[in-house]
């Protein structure tokens, strides 16, 4: 296969399809999503069989257990995937919404209209359900999509792609509105991320290595998700009960997620009231604690936190703990070590809460709430294509709106500029 030629065809088809998608009504797009759901149900056994082939090949080639787990489409996951489609159908269509349409002194009316970005390229790793999630969000937001899944999931993804084409065709939308790349050749990714004439934005979903590689090589904008080194700061004026509840949840509700707390900052004035109880709870849950000198004086037998710990996203049952003497020191630590994902303050003090909200430069800033809430579903986006750690365009959880932009509309009556 000539990869350059193949990708040029895919890219030009996507660009062409994006015009039809931009014109499609909410009704058209929902009909396509509904038809795709129908096709998935009708092809359920073929898709699960294809997934079994991927799994067998994965086992033969020695994929580790975690990867195999992510690759597997169990019947429950399959049903969840189809259900996800129904949820996207229920979301409001953001396209075409006009805001701030006002008369200007010249007599023209000026406003902003929400419009699709055009063509979204999505590069992801083994989970085949991402193929449907990503396709659904791109279609609903009026975009065309080019999807590049992991090579280990190629049979599953191609079986799902067939259902996408069936659904799009049934709804009278171009089959090329979502294309799943058919080759596992890595050169296809190189082509995908370097042609602004085909692709308007790339969303990589996967490990930090993948995302850094793509960001470095891309010639089109990338919506990035790098580390989640998240902090909770328990202020001296925190309610101890809330503090313990939130700090426990932020670490232990799930270990491998980007919005999990990795360092706990505790005001020295409240440490004795909250840390021993929290440490007992963490240890009962199997969380390894690593503390600064002052917290180790309070908590017997915990490990020592070094410079590396403050900077690390553990994604594991490990927690770094540091005592501080006030909000300024907490802010300084966050400023230095945070990855700008999510931070939360626990306090009853109005003024400190207000300062924390204003001064912490992270995609989500919270008061008296667990960092685990930083999520598209919890925020009411309905679904998310990812969580952005960028500051431009989309920051934090990215839903349908993050896959759109705004153009200016001007209404006149023969108005000219003087």
Tally Cβ neighbours within 10 Å of residue 87: 14
Report phi then psi at 102, rounded to 5: -130, 155
- Token pair listed for 224: 């990035």
Scanning 28-36, 115-123, 149-157, 269-277 for contacts with its own copies by CB under 8 A, the matching segment is: 115-123
- Nearest residue (CB) to its own copies, 35 versus 345: 345
Rounded Cα gap, residues 386 and 395, in angstroms: 10
Scanning 64-72, 148-156, 312-320, 364-372 for contacts with its own copies by CB under 8 A, the matching segment is: 364-372
- Token pair listed for 227: 């580390």
Tally Cβ neighbours within 10 Å of residue 361: 13
Which position among 369, 383, 385, 398 is part of the footprint of its own copies (CB under 8 A)?
A: 369
- Nearest residue (CB) to its own copies, 34 versus 194: 194
328-357 residues in contact with its own copies (CB under 8 A) are 335, 344, 346, 357
Scanning 30-38, 152-160, 242-250, 284-292 for contacts with its own copies by CB under 8 A, the matching segment is: 242-250
Rounded Cα gap, residues 375 and 342, in angstroms: 10
Closest to 147 (Cα-Cα) out of 123, 169, 165: 123
Closest to 173 (Cα-Cα) out of 297, 23, 63: 23
Which position among 33, 201, 211, 265 is part of the footprint of its own copies (CB under 8 A)?
A: 201
382-386's contacts with Cβ under 8 Å and 24+ in sequence apart are 382/87, 382/88, 382/90, 382/91, 383/84, 383/87, 383/88, 383/91, 383/133, 383/136, 383/137, 385/122, 385/133, 385/134, 385/137, 385/138, 385/203, 385/205, 385/223, 386/203, 386/205, 386/223, 386/225
The 3-22 site mask, x for binding its own copies (CB under 8 A), equals ----------------x--x
Give yes or no for residue 415 binding its own copies (CB under 8 A): yes
Give yes or no for residue 117 binding its own copies (CB under 8 A): yes
181-200 residues in contact with its own copies (CB under 8 A) are 200
- Nearest residue (CB) to its own copies, 64 versus 413: 413
Which position among 70, 245, 273, 294 is part of the footprint of its own copies (CB under 8 A)?
A: 245
Give yes or no for residue 110 binding its own copies (CB under 8 A): yes
For residue 276, give Cα distances in angstroms to 105, 241, 271, 295, 317.
65, 13, 8, 10, 18
Give yes or no for residue 229 binding its own copies (CB under 8 A): no
Number of residues that bind its own copies (CB under 8 A): 68
Rounded Cα gap, residues 203 and 279, in angstroms: 39
CB of 106 to its own copies, least distance (A): 6
- Token pair listed for 231: 């902090």
Which position among 94, 204, 397, 399 is part of the footprint of its own copies (CB under 8 A)?
A: 397
The 83-102 site mask, x for binding its own copies (CB under 8 A), equals -------------x-----x
Which position among 182, 185, 239, 313 is part of the footprint of its own copies (CB under 8 A)?
A: 239
Q: Which residues lie near its own copies (CB under 8 A)?
A: 19, 22-23, 96, 102, 104, 106, 108, 110, 113, 115, 117-118, 200-201, 221, 239, 241-242, 245-246, 248-250, 253, 335, 344, 346, 357-359, 361-370, 372-374, 378-380, 390-393, 395-397, 405-418
């Amino acid at each position: 296969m000539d990869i350059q030629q193949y990708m040029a065809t895919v890219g030009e088809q996507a660009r062409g399809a994006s015009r039809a998608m931009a014109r499609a009504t909410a009704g058209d797009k929902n009909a396509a999503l509904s038809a795709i759901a129908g096709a998935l149900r009708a092809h359920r056994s073929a898709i699960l069989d294809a997934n079994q082939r991927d799994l067998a090949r994965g086992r033969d080639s020695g994929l580790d257990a975690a990867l195999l787990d992510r690759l597997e489409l169990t019947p429950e996951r399959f049903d969840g995937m189809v259900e996800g489609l129904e949820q996207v159908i229920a979301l409001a269509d953001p396209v075409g919404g006009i805001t701030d349409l006002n008369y200007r002194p010249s007599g023209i009316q000026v406003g902003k209209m929400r419009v699709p970005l055009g063509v979204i390229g999505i590069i992801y790793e083994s989970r085949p359900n991402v193929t449907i999630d990503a396709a659904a969000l791109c279609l609903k937001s009026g975009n065309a999509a080019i999807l590049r899944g992991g090579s280990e999931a190629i049979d599953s993804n191609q079986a799902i792609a067939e259902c996408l084409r069936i659904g799009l065709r049934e709804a009278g939308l171009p089959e090329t509105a979502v294309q799943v790349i058919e080759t596992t050749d890595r050169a296809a990714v190189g082509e995908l991320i370097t042609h602004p004439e085909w692709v308007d934005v790339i969303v990589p979903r996967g490990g930090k290595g993948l995302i850094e590689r793509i960001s470095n090589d891309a010639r089109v904008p990338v919506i990035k998700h790098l580390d989640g080194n998240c902090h909770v700061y328990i202020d001296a004026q925190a309610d101890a009960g809330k503090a313990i509840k939130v700090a426990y949840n932020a670490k232990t509700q799930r270990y491998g997620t980007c919005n999990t707390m990795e360092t706990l900052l505790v005001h020295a004035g409240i440490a004795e009231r909250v840390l021993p109880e929290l440490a007992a709870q963490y240890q009962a849950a199997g969380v390894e604690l690593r503390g600064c000198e002052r917290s180790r004086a309070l908590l017997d037998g915990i490990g020592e936190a070094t410079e590396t710990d403050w900077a690390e996203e553990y994604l594991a049952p490990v927690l770094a703990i540091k005592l501080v003497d006030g909000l300024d020191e907490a802010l300084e630590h966050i400023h230095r070590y945070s990855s700008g994902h999510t931070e939360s303050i626990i306090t009853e003090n109005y003024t400190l809460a207000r300062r924390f909200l204003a001064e912490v430069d992270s995609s989500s800033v919270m008061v008296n709430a667990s960092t685990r809430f930083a999520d598209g579903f919890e925020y009411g986006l309905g679904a998310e294509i990812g969580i952005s750690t960028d500051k431009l365009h989309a920051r934090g959880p990215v839903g349908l709106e993050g896959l759109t932009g705004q153009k200016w509309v001007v209404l006149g009556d023969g108005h000219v500029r003087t």
